[in-house]
């Protein structure tokens, strides 16, 4: 029986947006579709891995006997699921677009409309990936970055700050990259090199990312 490259390895992936509740019917969120994370999960499964897919709200579907899916809503939920799965993971890829802020107060009842202006105070959510970087022992840790200026410089700083093995940079300035797009154009940034890729469908981008992972794993 042929052994696949990630047989016996556990890959944990965060995907999608997070929703931060304002009241029972409203939230702060973003336009992430979750597609990049789901394509990464699909590729990792094809390479023989056991996959934990921790995803914020999305309509995407994926089923496989080696897939464990954790549906979460808020950054705090995602933080808990990612932390719980970290120790047993060989590879962790943070592809989620985590909301950076959440309302300080969550109202139990739906906020009533009035003529007055409304102010909602926000506080930061936990940085999941940064926390995983502090827990890292044997894991390969991969993050994403989406920058609008000085992108390579900012991505390199993030690589260090979050204790990552590499970071996948996609630029919002690029019309073929980003949220709600079928294609993505990436650079893989490590401590020692920058690898540039052409724009391509997200499934192929996922393949490029996993190929790089296979190169650096023991």
**Pairwise CA distance, residues 81 & 70, whole Å:** 7
136 annotated as ligand-binding: no
Q: Provide the minimum distance between the beta carbon of 218 and ligand C5P in the complex, in angstroms, as a whole number.
A: 23
Q: Which is nearer to ligand C5P, 47 or 97 (CB)?
A: 97
Nearer to ligand C5P (CB atom), residue 6 or residue 128: 128
Q: How far is the CB of 124 from ligand C5P (least distance, A)?
A: 8
Question: Shortest Cβ distance from residue 205 to ligand C5P (Å)?
Answer: 15
Q: Do 45 and 66 meet the contact criterion of CB atoms below 8 Å apart?
A: yes
Chain-centroid distance of CA 155 in Å reads 15
What lies within 8 Å, CB to CB, of 211 at 6+ separation is: none
79 is an annotated ligand-binding site residue: no
62 is in an annotated binding site: no
Q: How far is the CB of 79 from ligand C5P (least distance, A)?
A: 8
Closer to ligand C5P by CB, 77 or 127: give it: 127
Residue 207 is labelled as binding a ligand: no
Q: At what angle do helices 202-216 and 35-46 cross, to 10 degrees?
A: 50
Which positions are annotated as active-site residues?
A: 30
Please give the structure tokens belonging to residue 5: 């490259």
Distances (CA, A) of 31 to 34, 48, 119, 196, 208: 9, 31, 23, 25, 24
Positions in the binding site for ligand C5P (CB under 6 A) = 14, 75, 94, 96, 98, 125-129, 143-145, 158
Q: Is residue 146 a contact partner of residue 170, using CB atoms and an 8 Å limit?
A: yes
CB-wise, 48 or 131, nearer to ligand C5P?
131
- State the binding site for CTP: 100, 110, 126-129, 144, 158, 162
């Amino acid at each position: 029986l042929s052994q696949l490259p990630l047989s016996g390895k556990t890959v944990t992936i965060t995907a999608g947006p997070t929703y931060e509740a304002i009241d029972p019917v409203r939230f702060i969120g973003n336009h992430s579709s979750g597609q990049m994370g789901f394509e990464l999960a699909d590729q990792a499964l094809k390479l023989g891995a056991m996959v934990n897919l921790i995803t914020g709200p999305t309509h995407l579907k994926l089923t496989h006997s080696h897939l464990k899916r954790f549906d979460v809503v808020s950054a705090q939920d995602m933080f808990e699921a990612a932390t719980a799965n970290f120790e047993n993971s060989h590879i962790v890829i943070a592809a989620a677009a985590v909301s950076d802020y959440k309302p300080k107060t969550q109202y139990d009842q739906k906020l009533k409309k009035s003529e007055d202006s409304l102010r909602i105070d926000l506080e930061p959510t936990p940085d999941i990936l940064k926390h995983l970087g502090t827990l890292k022992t044997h894991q390969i840790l991969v993050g994403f970055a989406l920058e609008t200026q000085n992108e390579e410089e900012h991505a390199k700083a993030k690589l260090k700050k979050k204790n990552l093995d590499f970071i996948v940079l996609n630029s919002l300035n690029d019309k073929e990259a980003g949220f709600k797009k079928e294609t993505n154009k990436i650079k893989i940034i490590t401590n020692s090199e920058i690898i540039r890729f052409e724009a391509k469908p997200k499934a192929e981008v996922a393949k490029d990312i996993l190929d790089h992972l296979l190169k650096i794993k023991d």
